[in-house]
Structure 1
Amino acid sequence: MNVMVFDIETVPDVASGRRLYDLGELSDADTAQAMFQLRMAKTGGDFLPHHLQRIVAISIVFRSRESVRVWSLGEETADEAELITRFFDGVGRYTPTLVSWNGSGFDLPVLHYRALLHGIAAPRYWEIGDDDREFRYSNYISRFHWRHIDLMDVLAGYQPRASAPLDEVATMLGLPGKMGMSGARVWDAFQGGDLSGIRNYCETDVLNTYLVYLRFEHLRGHLDATGYADEQARLRALLGEAEAPHLREFIDAWNAHGA
């Protein structure tokens, strides 16, 4: 079975903000600030709605029968449409189990709106059993099916009041947790041209998610103790051979915590 753990990073969609709020020729920074202020006035918080989030990074841990890999989709120069196309092409090609942390509440709705904006078709992802009967009782869209496992949602028993942040759960389990950045700092990093830093941060987040997923698979009996240890060892071997500094830092932190 193919497993595709994913995470996205976003910034304000200033182009849509200008159109929606008639902001004229304001700079990107001023447009975003206006969007935050308008959101604050409406809701009391400045977190922008899903349809006004522009995707700048999508990172993946992919576990196939043969191997495990971690990477960010596309080149740093790739535009949003290319990133989203690559994501849904992967779903169409491999029909993986998707795994996320708060993917149902954030990542997937953002991907839906942005795919709609760019006109990106994803028939395999949207299949609910009309053309493939196997998807009737297990598809990516239904909250309670298993083709997409939102770990935050599942572990909270589908109760929003019981939800927990990935960083806290990862740290509780002895995993590295957040490293080098946070979602709140992505916009500043993007304005400073640090796409590499954003992608690196996204990759460490998706590694945390994958390791929580392995613990969950052990929890529900899909991995016995030996299988769980083997999967951890497989990932340690991958990261141990990595040259990228952020991956080296991740495994060093993981080893230091002894999880």
Structure 2
Amino acid sequence: MNVLVFDIETVPDVVGGRRLLGLDPSLSDQEVAEAMMALRRQSAGTDFQRLHLHRIVAISIAADLDRHGFRVWSLGDPEDDEAELIRRFFDGVERYAPRLVSWNGGGFDLPVLHYRALLHGITARRYWDSGQEDRDFRFNNYLNRFHDRHTDLMDVLAGYQARANAPLDEIATLLGYPGKMGMSGGKVWEAVQAGELGAVRDYCETDVLNTYLVWLRYQLMRGRLTPEGLQAEEGRVKEALRGDGRPHLQAFLAAWEGDDHGA
């Protein structure tokens, strides 16, 4: 089965915020976002919006689909709207029926994708199939938490116990991978407002790289890879990064190999 590791980056949905909160239409996006965050802090003690009030600005992928070779990329072009990014994601699921892999995808990324696909009227027949169209999906589909057509690594490694959840950055760093580089999720709104969507997409791509590498280590733990197989797969990733040439991926590779050399 093809493996497709994914991650999304989001900002507050100021259009939805205006509608739900009945805010003055003359308020700027920044003012609406500040109002949304202030109200959220008052009710929940955090700026983090409820999942239906997130707008997706980037979806990044790390995958080796149909033996095309491993690569990392972000869906669409920076000027594409949210609906186009979501449509491309579900089109990929329709075409390849991959095993989806995420870090906290069950708790965040997929529910946000569900709400936003609902908002934009996006069809995803294979994703939502639980055996009505393909009998195999009755026993292994994307929707059942305990099936592995979607593997939420954070959830699985925590034994499905929220109190045992761990941050991707810390797990990746403990395993000798670079971890988060250059940004954090809390800085995405400011970066988008400053016209730095490219930096957000780069950051999202390093997140899926970390997740992919943790996935390989998970496969070793499960006995699906031998130590030699893990080394070979990591070598394939490194070779792909060397051949890519984009600065943020070269920085990721340098940080990774620097840690290897220091071990």
The TM-score normalised by the length of structure 1 is 0.99
Whole-angstrom CA distance in 2 between matches of 1:10 and 1:251 = 26
Partner of 1:26: 27
Q: CA RMSD in A?
A: 0.8
Summarize the alignment of residues 237-256 of structure 1 with structure 2, pairs less than 5 Å apart: 237-256=239-258
Partner of 2:113: 111
Quick one: which of 152, 155, 167 aligns to 2:154? 152
How many angstroms does 1:64 deviate by?
Answer: 2.8
Q: Which moved more, 1:62-71 or 1:177-186?
A: 62-71
Partner of 2:74: 72
Q: Spell out, residue by residue over 1:43-76, the C-alpha distance to the aligned partner (whole angstroms, 9 max, x if none).
A: 1211100000000000001123521111000000
Partner of 2:59: 58
Q: Spell out, residue by residue over 1:67-90, the C-alpha distance to the aligned partner (whole angstroms, 9 max, x if none).
A: 111100000000000000000000
Distance 1:82 1:65, change over 3 A: closer
Matched pairs, number? 259
Q: Spell out, residue by residue over 1:222-249, the C-alpha distance to the aligned partner (whole angstroms, 9 max, x if none).
A: 1111211111010010001121100000
SS of 2:244 mapped into structure 1: coil
Structure 1 residue ranges without an equivalent (≥5): none
Partner of 2:183: 181
* AA in 2 matched with 1:214: L
SS of 1:45 mapped into structure 2: coil
Q: Spell out, residue by residue over 1:201-257, the C-alpha distance to the aligned partner (whole angstroms, 9 max, x if none).
A: 000000000000000011101111121111101001000112110000000000011
The answer to whether 1:221 aligns with 2:230 is no
Partner of 1:43: 44
Q: Spell out, residue by residue over 1:104-156, the C-alpha distance to the aligned partner (whole angstroms, 9 max, x if none).
A: 00000000000000000001000001111100110000000000000000000
Whole-angstrom CA distance in 2 between matches of 1:197 and 1:64 = 25
SS of 1:7 mapped into structure 2: strand
Partner of 1:88: 90
Whole-angstrom CA distance in 1 between matches of 2:78 and 2:65 = 25
Partner of 2:13: 13
The TM-score normalised by the length of structure 2 is 0.97
Partner of 1:195: 197
Whole-angstrom CA distance in 1 between matches of 2:244 and 2:258 = 17
* AA in 1 matched with 2:29: D
Q: Does the CA contact (< 8 Å) of 2:65 and 2:96 recur in 1?
A: no
* AA in 2 matched with 1:136: R
* AA in 2 matched with 1:54: R
Partner of 2:102: 100
Quick one: which of 157, 163, 168 aligns to 2:165? 163
Q: Aligned residues: percent identity?
A: 62
The answer to whether 1:132 aligns with 2:134 is yes
Whole-angstrom CA distance in 2 between matches of 1:205 and 1:44 = 26
Whole-angstrom CA distance in 2 between matches of 1:155 and 1:248 = 29
How many angstroms does 1:198 deviate by?
Answer: 0.2
Whole-angstrom CA distance in 1 between matches of 2:173 and 2:250 = 18
Quick one: which of 231, 234, 244 aligns to 2:233? 231
Whole-angstrom CA distance in 1 between matches of 2:63 and 2:90 = 14
* AA in 1 matched with 2:7: D
SS of 1:241 mapped into structure 2: helix
* AA in 2 matched with 1:45: T
Whole-angstrom CA distance in 1 between matches of 2:152 and 2:119 = 24
SS of 2:147 mapped into structure 1: coil
SS of 1:10 mapped into structure 2: strand
